[in-house]
Amino acid sequence: MKGRVLIAGFATRHVAQSAARAGYEVCAVDHFCDQDLSWYTVDREKFEDLADLPEGIERICRRHTFDILVVTSGAEDLSTPLHFYGTPKEKIGRFLDKLEIQHFFEHLKVPVPRLLADGDFPAMVKPKRGAGGWRNAIVRDKKEQSSWEELYPETPFIRQEIVEGVPASVCCVTDGSRARAIAVNEQFLRGKGEPAFGFCGSVTPLDHPLGQEMINRAEQIAAASGCIGTIGIDFVLGKDIAFAIEVNPRFQGTVDSVEMAYGCNLFQYHVDACTGILPRCPPLPRQVAVRSIIFADQDLTITADLKQLSSYVADIPWPGTSFEAGQALVSVFGWGQTREAACSLLDKHISTVRQYIR
């Protein structure tokens, strides 16, 4: 065993799995505590609201001592006396604020959707703080913007020009001043309703004419960010330009597809980067991997035990878990030597999974 790690955040299974595979003993503080999280951890604490996260950490720390703390989404600016591996709190604040990210990109002179003045429409409205794109929306006039503000009252936001293209990201590791791109990903978005711009999966690697430009930009951004460890840079790939969208100073939702496609271990990359070690060169892809998050189309309870599908399903709920319409149910995977083959296998796996969640 390399050491005992505590992983804390809203969802931790993907990072816990990577850490366990890297040879660490893992504990987690997690909102979901899905069945497969228990396969990769020796102990867990569940919390309901992020405000309860520090208390969950205190409880698990009464039972264990830890060599490393790593955080995921929702816990990036957590204050703790534990030995923290990741972006320091004094550096991370600017990347939790989308207006600060905008100014950071403008300072670096990387292409970014420009901010719009009040009254300019159409516009992309984004909460200043938040992850996953769930509350982002296109508003075409004052009425639609007012409706958005009523839906999310007292939520500070920014307004950007709309750029069309392929949602994408680059997974990087950085030691605070140097960076190495590990993988380029296509991102799936929900595409309709309130969560239209919410993340719901990925394809790794992405083959695109702007791929190398995006890698170069991502390494420039990551190196200048002051972030440490595994981080993600989001882009929209337009016709001729790779627009930078966000810096995610934490493990991303693409961990599964990156590791499946490249045969690498992002947790070990993270630990190495936090001790000043970066890969000399990026890993080479072995296959194309795709992940899709399945959402409930109505209120339901999963009575079946989906662990029998664990070769291509993750984030597996315990039998008897109830879900409201719109909530994430499971992650489903496909793989192959081409994008088409991987997506075809994904479709077959989704068809099988749906037989168990009706």
Is 334 within 8 Å of 257 (Cβ atoms)? no
List Cα–Cα distances, 13 to 23, 37, 139, 298, 350, in angstroms.
15, 5, 35, 25, 20
pTM beyond 0.95: the answer is: yes
pLDDT class of 192 with cuts at 50, 70, 90: confident
Q: What is the pLDDT of residue 130?
A: 85
Q: What is the DSSP letter of 23?
A: T
For range 288-294, the mean pLDDT: 98
Q: What is the pLDDT of residue 191?
A: 84
Look at residue 194 and tell me whether its pLDDT is greater than 80.
no
Q: Give just the sign of the alpha carbon dihedral 24, 25, 30, 33.
A: positive
Look at residue 1 and tell me whether its pLDDT is greater than 90.
no
Q: What is the pLDDT of residue 260?
A: 98
Is 123 within 8 Å of 159 (Cβ atoms)? yes
Q: What is the pLDDT of residue 132?
A: 82
Cβ neighbours of residue 143 closer than 8 Å, sequence gap 6 or more: none
Q: Give just the sign of the alpha carbon dihedral 229, 279, 205, 347.
A: negative
242-256 pLDDT tens trace: 999 999 999 999 999
Percent of the chain with pLDDT over 90: 94
> Which CATH superfamily groups domain 89-111+164-284?
ATP-grasp fold, B domain (3.30.470.20)
Look at residue 323 and tell me whether its pLDDT is greater than 90.
yes
Q: What is the DSSP letter of 186?
A: E
For range 317-336, the mean pLDDT: 97
Q: Give just the sign of the alpha carbon dihedral 179, 228, 101, 163.
A: positive
pLDDT class of 279 with cuts at 50, 70, 90: very high
Q: What is the pLDDT of residue 131?
A: 82
Look at residue 302 and tell me whether its pLDDT is greater than 90.
yes
120-157 pLDDT tens trace: 999 999 999 988 888 999 999 999 999 999 999 999 99
Q: Give me the residue spans of the domains in the chain.
A: 4-84, 89-111+164-284, 112-160, 287-358
Residue for token digits 């989001």?
A: 234
For range 13-18, the mean pLDDT: 98
For range 274-293, the mean pLDDT: 97
155-181 pLDDT tens trace: 999 999 999 999 999 999 999 999 999
pLDDT class of 358 with cuts at 50, 70, 90: confident
Q: What is the pLDDT of residue 134?
A: 85
Residue for token digits 């068809």?
A: 351
79-91 pLDDT tens trace: 889 999 999 988 9
Q: Does the domain made of 287-358 have the CATH classification 2.60.40?
A: no
Look at residue 13 and tell me whether its pLDDT is greater than 80.
yes
Chain centroid to CA 80: 22
Q: Which CATH class is domain 4-84?
A: alpha beta
For range 184-190, the mean pLDDT: 96
Distance (Å, rounded) from C-alpha 298 to C-alpha 309? 22
Q: What is the pLDDT of residue 220?
A: 98
Look at residue 212 and tell me whether its pLDDT is greater than 80.
yes
Distance (Å, rounded) from C-alpha 328 to C-alpha 325? 9
Q: What is the pLDDT of residue 133?
A: 87
